[in-house]
Amino acid sequence: MELSNLKQHFKKEVQTFSNLCQSTLDHAVPTCPGWTVQDLIEHLGTVHRRAAARVGSVTDPTSFELDIPNDSQEILNWFEKGWQELYEIFESNDSDYPAWNWTGTNLTLGWMIRRQAHEAAIHRYDAELAQMGLPNLNSFKSLPAESLPFGFDPDFAVDGLNERLEVSIGGKPHLKANLPGSIHLHATDADAEWTITITEGIVTVARDHQKADAAIRATASELYLWSWDRLPVEILEHFGNIDVIEAWKKLPG
């Protein structure tokens, strides 16, 4: 996906997130057990400040501004200030401007823009579920996936699943994870398929149709959300070895 589109997704997602949080600070976040919406704000606001501190450096900065207020209105203002400053950095610099990241490769602002767009998107979804008042992820296993209308357009979701595989899983320098078999993901609303194996921390992805030990068919948005453990597989069309599907939950977030 073009970086210009990713920047706009970032802006849209954080603005929506902020609006959702205005009156729900004490609501539980069902997809982040033990967290309230205020914890979610603190997390995402910290992520933005950490990202801003890494721009202009190819080494990991040892410190960054982090003074989180307790007052509900002040924390909302604190969040607004953080994302707006990061967005201004995105708009004011070229995509190849240096910016450190933990993968050790592609240390550029372009990498960061993509990562931050998807970080914001997943947590906006978390805030949507919190607003619904659902107590936990299991509480909507009985709901059809189409009853959750606040997902993502196919192009963004496909990019998000690719980013999940390439960065948050495959980009770990010392990934300690395995799947007990292969898994095939088939998007029903986009020309996108993935067959994934993870053996001794090595991630292999084939982007075509292949037979696998387990498979899930769903929209690109649903696959993207499932890959982040934001949708239970029970409400999606799935086949094969359930142990492979369950093992996915142990992959790093």
Residue in 98, 100, 123 with CA at minimum distance from that of residue 10: 123
CB 75 within 8 A of CB 36: no
For residue 15, give every residue at least 6 positions away whose Cβ sits within 8 Å of its Cβ, in sequence order, or none: none
Residue 122 and residue 200 in one domain: no
Reading the chain (253 residues) residue by residue, the pLDDT tens digits are 999 999 999 999 999 999 999 988 999 999 999 999 999 999 999 999 999 999 999 888 877 778 899 888 899 999 999 999 999 999 999 999 999 999 999 999 999 999 999 999 999 999 999 998 877 777 776 666 566 667 899 999 999 999 999 999 998 888 888 999 999 999 999 999 999 999 988 999 999 999 999 999 999 999 999 999 999 898 899 999 999 999 999 998 8
**What's the pLDDT score for residue 173?**
82
Residue 113 and residue 25 in one domain: yes
- Whichever domain contains 96, its CATH number is 1.20.120.450
Is residue 85 situated within a structural domain?
yes
CB 90 within 8 A of CB 7: yes
Order of strands across the sheet with 183-187? Answer: 202-206, 193-199, 183-187, 214-218, 237-240
Assessment of whether the complete model's pTM goes beyond 0.85: yes
Sign of CA dihedral 107, 110, 114, 116: positive
The distance from CA 136 to its chain's CA centroid, rounded to whole angstroms, is 18
**What's the pLDDT score for residue 172?**
86
Overall number of domains in the chain:
2
Specify the 3-state DSSP secondary structure of 199.
strand
Residue 124 and residue 195 in one domain: no
Is residue 104 situated within a structural domain?
yes
Query: What are the tokens at 3?
Result: 């970086």
Residue 18 and residue 122 in one domain: yes
Q: How many helices (H) and strands (E) does the chain have?
A: 7, 5
**What's the pLDDT score for residue 149?**
63
Domain boundary among 137, 164, 199: 137
**What's the pLDDT score for residue 134?**
79
Is residue 196 situated within a structural domain?
yes
Is residue 142 situated within a structural domain?
no
The 8-class DSSP code of residue 137 comes to G
Residue 183, φ and ψ in degrees, nearest 5: -135, 135
**What's the pLDDT score for residue 146?**
61
Residue 179 and residue 121 in one domain: no
Domain that holds residue 132: 3-137
For residue 110, give every residue at least 6 positions away whose Cβ sits within 8 Å of its Cβ, in sequence order, or none: 3, 95, 96
Is residue 154 situated within a structural domain?
no
| Buried b or exposed e, range 18-36, using 16+ CB within 10 angstroms | bebbeebbebbbbbbeebb
CB 28 within 8 A of CB 44: no
Residue 186, φ and ψ in degrees, nearest 5: -125, 115
Residue 223 CB: number of other CB atoms within 10 A? 27
CB 98 within 8 A of CB 56: yes
